């Protein structure tokens, strides 16, 4: 077994930097990178009230724990928001550990559901809608529900568990769909709106595999279950393509995200004037056009 630079037996191999790290130094590196991402992005300020989108999966659970650790040095509040989409045999399995972790950390948790939001679960919606893929509905409803919940709870920012893999996939998806204006809005809304809660992504520079390893080493109760609708998503195709590239050319995901960060200001400069966030003429929630996607899907 290859050893860590400290001489201990290596527990993790970082292929993109060709380094072996022992458990202690891997955890230290992980925590340091998390804090650096928060600091460099100026994501959290003293006294902020942070909403954490907590699903109970590995990403959001690690995010919750990492923010709770950061809170010991930087005073701010944490409130967990869990969205129940109503997917049989899936969400119930992750909601239990989510509740357990909140109780363990002493964090207030609020649960909202698609059923309460629009009168139907995602399963109900998909039984009737054969035109749209499940992720089209789910993504719109989740974003709508999280923002609405965070605003109504009077929270300052919404922390999402999007990791490096998620970010790299999103960048490539927007490029492949020729949607540069959406890419310009990826990190944060260009035009603030009082009804739109700013989003932060403290795990955006952390690979998905390392989050899973960290959760395991920390003994976090993670349910390893995949959404049954995931196979329909375009994201799945992009994920496979990126994973193959990463295996052949280590560091690819970092390079994709860092390339986006390098051109982000230029994208905002070009699309900033057109990416105005207004309010939906039907429900009053934030949107980029006259009627928000939530209301359009509800009428379809």
> In total, how many domains does the chain have?
1
Closest CA to 113 of 144, 154, 158: 144
Could you tell me if residue 4 is inside a domain? no
Helix axes 23-40, 208-217, angle to 10 degrees: 130
**Domain range spanning residue 56?**
43-299
Could you tell me if residue 111 is inside a domain? yes
pLDDT of residue 231: 67
Q: Tell me: the pLDDT tens digits for 99-114?
A: 999 999 999 999 999 8
Could you tell me if residue 193 is inside a domain? yes
Average pLDDT in the chain: 89
Could you tell me if residue 260 is inside a domain? yes
Task: Say if residues 159 and 63 touch (Cβ distance below 8 Å).
Answer: yes
Q: How far apart are CA 213 and CA 250, in angstroms?
A: 18
Could you tell me if residue 173 is inside a domain? yes
The percentage of residues in the chain with a pLDDT greater than 90, rounded to a whole number, is 60
Q: DSSP H helical segments within 71-131, as ranges?
A: 91-105, 114-118, 122-128
Could you tell me if residue 25 is inside a domain? no
Residues 6+ apart with CB under 8 A from 32: none
Q: Please state the pTM of the whole predicted model.
A: 0.91
Q: Residue 54 sits in a domain of what CATH number?
A: 3.40.50.620
Q: How far apart are CA 201 and CA 164, in angstroms?
A: 10
Could you tell me if residue 70 is inside a domain? yes
| Winning range, highest mean pLDDT, from 188-192, 212-216, 272-276 | 212-216
Could you tell me if residue 24 is inside a domain? no
């Amino acid at each position: 077994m290859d050893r860590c630079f400290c001489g201990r037996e290596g527990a993790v191999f970082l292929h993109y930097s060709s380094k072996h790290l022992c458990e202690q130094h891997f955890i230290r590196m992980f925590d340091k990178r998390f804090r650096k991402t928060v600091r460099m992005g100026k994501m959290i300020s003293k006294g902020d009230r942070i909403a954490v989108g907590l699903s109970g999966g590995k990403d959001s659970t690690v995010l919750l724990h990492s923010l709770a650790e950061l809170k010991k040095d930087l005073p701010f509040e944490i409130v967990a928001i869990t969205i129940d989409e109503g997917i049989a045999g899936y969400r119930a399995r992750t909601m239990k550990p989510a509740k357990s972790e909140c109780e363990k950390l002493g964090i207030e948790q609020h649960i909202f559901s698609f059923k309460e939001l629009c009168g139907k679960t995602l399963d109900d919606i998909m039984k009737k809608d054969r035109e749209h893929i499940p992720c089209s509905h789910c993504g719109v409803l989740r974003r709508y529900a999280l923002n609405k919940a965070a605003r109504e709870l009077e929270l300052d920012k919404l922390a999402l568990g999007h990791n490096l893999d998620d970010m790299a996939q999103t960048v490539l998806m927007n490029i492949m769909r020729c949607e540069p204006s959406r890419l310009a809005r990826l990190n944060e809304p260009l035009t603030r709106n009082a009804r739109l809660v700013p989003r932060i992504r403290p795990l955006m520079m952390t690979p998905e595999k390392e989050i899973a390893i960290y959760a395991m080493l920390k003994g976090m109760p993670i349910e390893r279950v995949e959404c049954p609708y995931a196979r329909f998503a375009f994201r799945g195709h992009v994920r496979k393509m990126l994973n193959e590239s990463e295996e052949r050319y280590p560091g690819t995901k970092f390079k994709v995200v860092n390339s986006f960060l390098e051109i982000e200001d230029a994208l905002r400069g070009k699309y900033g004037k057109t990416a105005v966030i207004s309010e939906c003429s039907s429900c009053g929630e934030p949107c980029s056009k006259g009627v928000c996607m939530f209301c359009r899907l509800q009428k379809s």
